[in-house]
Protein backbone atom coordinates (compact mmCIF):
# COMPACT_ATOMS: atom_id res chain seq x y z
CA UNK A 1 0.00 0.00 0.00
CA UNK A 2 1.48 3.30 -1.09
CA UNK A 3 0.86 6.54 0.77
CA UNK A 4 0.28 9.53 -1.48
CA UNK A 5 0.87 12.09 1.24
CA UNK A 6 2.26 12.02 4.75
CA UNK A 7 -0.20 11.63 7.59
CA UNK A 8 -1.38 14.90 9.13
CA UNK A 9 0.64 16.16 12.07
CA UNK A 10 -1.91 17.56 14.44
CA UNK A 11 0.76 18.67 16.92
CA UNK A 12 1.95 21.40 14.50
CA UNK A 13 -1.48 23.02 14.57
CA UNK A 14 -1.19 23.43 18.33
CA UNK A 15 1.88 25.64 17.81
CA UNK A 16 0.40 27.88 15.12
CA UNK A 17 3.63 29.80 14.48
CA UNK A 18 5.23 26.61 13.19
CA UNK A 19 2.16 25.67 11.16
CA UNK A 20 1.95 29.12 9.50
CA UNK A 21 5.69 29.28 8.82
CA UNK A 22 5.56 25.87 7.14
CA UNK A 23 2.59 27.01 5.10
CA UNK A 24 4.50 30.10 3.96
CA UNK A 25 7.59 28.04 3.15
CA UNK A 26 5.54 25.72 0.96
CA UNK A 27 4.35 28.73 -1.04
CA UNK A 28 7.95 29.95 -1.33
CA UNK A 29 9.10 26.54 -2.62
CA UNK A 30 6.57 26.78 -5.43
CA UNK A 31 8.07 30.10 -6.52
CA UNK A 32 11.75 29.24 -6.20
CA UNK A 33 12.21 27.54 -9.58
CA UNK A 34 10.57 30.46 -11.38
CA UNK A 35 13.09 32.99 -10.05
CA UNK A 36 15.79 33.98 -12.59
CA UNK A 37 18.88 31.81 -12.27
CA UNK A 38 21.31 34.63 -11.45
CA UNK A 39 19.15 35.60 -8.45
CA UNK A 40 18.10 32.06 -7.50
CA UNK A 41 21.62 31.24 -6.34
CA UNK A 42 22.18 34.47 -4.43
CA UNK A 43 19.29 36.33 -2.80
CA UNK A 44 16.77 33.51 -3.26
CA UNK A 45 19.08 31.01 -1.56
CA UNK A 46 19.57 33.45 1.33
CA UNK A 47 15.77 33.71 1.62
CA UNK A 48 15.48 29.93 1.56
CA UNK A 49 18.11 29.63 4.31
CA UNK A 50 16.28 32.19 6.43
CA UNK A 51 13.06 30.21 6.05
CA UNK A 52 14.75 27.00 7.18
CA UNK A 53 16.45 28.83 10.07
CA UNK A 54 13.08 30.17 11.20
CA UNK A 55 11.49 26.73 10.91
CA UNK A 56 14.31 25.25 12.97
CA UNK A 57 13.92 27.87 15.70
CA UNK A 58 10.14 27.34 15.69
CA UNK A 59 10.62 23.60 16.20
CA UNK A 60 13.05 24.22 19.05
CA UNK A 61 10.71 26.79 20.62
CA UNK A 62 7.84 24.33 20.43
CA UNK A 63 9.63 22.04 22.88
CA UNK A 64 11.50 24.68 24.90
CA UNK A 65 10.95 25.53 28.52
CA UNK A 66 8.87 28.70 28.96
CA UNK A 67 11.86 30.83 30.00
CA UNK A 68 13.81 29.71 26.90
CA UNK A 69 10.86 30.06 24.53
CA UNK A 70 10.79 33.86 24.65
CA UNK A 71 14.49 34.02 23.71
CA UNK A 72 13.89 31.76 20.73
CA UNK A 73 10.82 33.71 19.67
CA UNK A 74 12.83 36.94 19.80
CA UNK A 75 15.46 35.31 17.56
CA UNK A 76 12.71 34.18 15.19
CA UNK A 77 11.37 37.72 15.09
CA UNK A 78 14.78 39.12 14.10
CA UNK A 79 15.22 36.59 11.32
CA UNK A 80 11.67 37.17 10.14
CA UNK A 81 12.34 40.91 9.81
CA UNK A 82 15.37 40.17 7.64
CA UNK A 83 13.37 37.65 5.61
CA UNK A 84 10.56 40.14 4.97
CA UNK A 85 13.06 42.76 3.81
CA UNK A 86 14.79 40.28 1.47
CA UNK A 87 11.46 39.20 -0.02
CA UNK A 88 10.61 42.87 -0.60
CA UNK A 89 13.99 43.33 -2.31
CA UNK A 90 13.25 40.31 -4.50
CA UNK A 91 10.02 41.98 -5.60
CA UNK A 92 11.70 45.37 -6.08
CA UNK A 93 14.21 43.88 -8.50
CA UNK A 94 11.29 42.21 -10.29
CA UNK A 95 12.43 38.66 -9.61
CA UNK A 96 8.88 37.83 -8.44
CA UNK A 97 5.63 39.42 -9.57
CA UNK A 98 3.17 41.37 -7.43
CA UNK A 99 0.84 38.41 -6.92
CA UNK A 100 3.61 36.15 -5.57
CA UNK A 101 4.97 38.97 -3.44
CA UNK A 102 1.48 39.67 -2.07
CA UNK A 103 0.98 36.02 -1.07
CA UNK A 104 4.34 35.82 0.68
CA UNK A 105 4.07 39.23 2.34
CA UNK A 106 0.61 38.44 3.70
CA UNK A 107 1.72 35.09 5.16
CA UNK A 108 4.92 36.56 6.62
CA UNK A 109 2.95 39.40 8.21
CA UNK A 110 0.63 36.84 9.82
CA UNK A 111 3.62 34.92 11.21
CA UNK A 112 5.05 38.20 12.55
CA UNK A 113 1.79 39.01 14.32
CA UNK A 114 1.73 35.55 15.89
CA UNK A 115 5.30 35.88 17.11
CA UNK A 116 4.63 39.36 18.51
CA UNK A 117 1.46 38.19 20.23
CA UNK A 118 3.21 35.18 21.71
CA UNK A 119 6.12 37.31 22.98
CA UNK A 120 3.71 39.83 24.55
CA UNK A 121 1.77 37.01 26.18
CA UNK A 122 4.95 35.50 27.64
CA UNK A 123 6.07 38.92 28.94
CA UNK A 124 2.70 39.51 30.64
CA UNK A 125 2.85 36.07 32.25
CA UNK A 126 6.38 36.74 33.50
CA UNK A 127 5.32 40.13 34.89
CA UNK A 128 2.38 38.67 36.81
CA UNK A 129 4.66 36.03 38.34
CA UNK A 130 7.06 38.70 39.66
CA UNK A 131 4.31 40.84 41.17
- 22-33 per-position pLDDT tens digit: 999 999 999 999
Q: How many domains does the chain have?
A: 1
Residue 80 domain flag? yes
Calculate the dihedral angle through the C-alpha atoms of 26, 28, 29, 32, rounding to the nearest 10 degrees. Answer: 170
| pLDDT < 50: residue spans in the chain | 11-12
For the chain, how are helix, strand and coil distributed in percent, rounded to 5? 80, 0, 20
Does residue 82 belong to any structural domain of this protein? Answer: yes
Q: Report yes or no on 10 lying in a domain.
A: no
* Residue 33 in domain: yes
Domain harbouring 63, CATH code: 1.20.1440.60
Instruction: Tell me the HSE value of 66 on the side-chain side, using a 13 A CA sphere.
Output: 7
Domain that holds residue 111: 16-130
pLDDT at 13: 54
pLDDT of residue 51: 98
pLDDT value of residue 124: 77
Whole-angstrom CA distances from 99 to 20, 39, 68 are 19, 19, 37
In a domain, 2, yes or no: no
Report if residue 11 sits inside a domain: no
Give the rounded distance of the alpha carbon of 17 from its chain centre.
8
- CA angle 43-110-119, nearest 5°? 100
Environment class of 40 (CB within 10 Å of its CB; exposed 0-12, middle 13-18, buried 19+): middle
Q: Is residue 100 part of a domain?
A: yes
The whole-number pLDDT of residue 123 equals 77
pLDDT at site 127: 73
Residue 6 lies in a domain: no
Amino acid sequence: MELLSPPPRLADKKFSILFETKSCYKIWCGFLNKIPRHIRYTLAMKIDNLFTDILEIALLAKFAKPEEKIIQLAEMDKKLCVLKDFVTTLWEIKAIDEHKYGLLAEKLAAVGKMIGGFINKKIKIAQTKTE
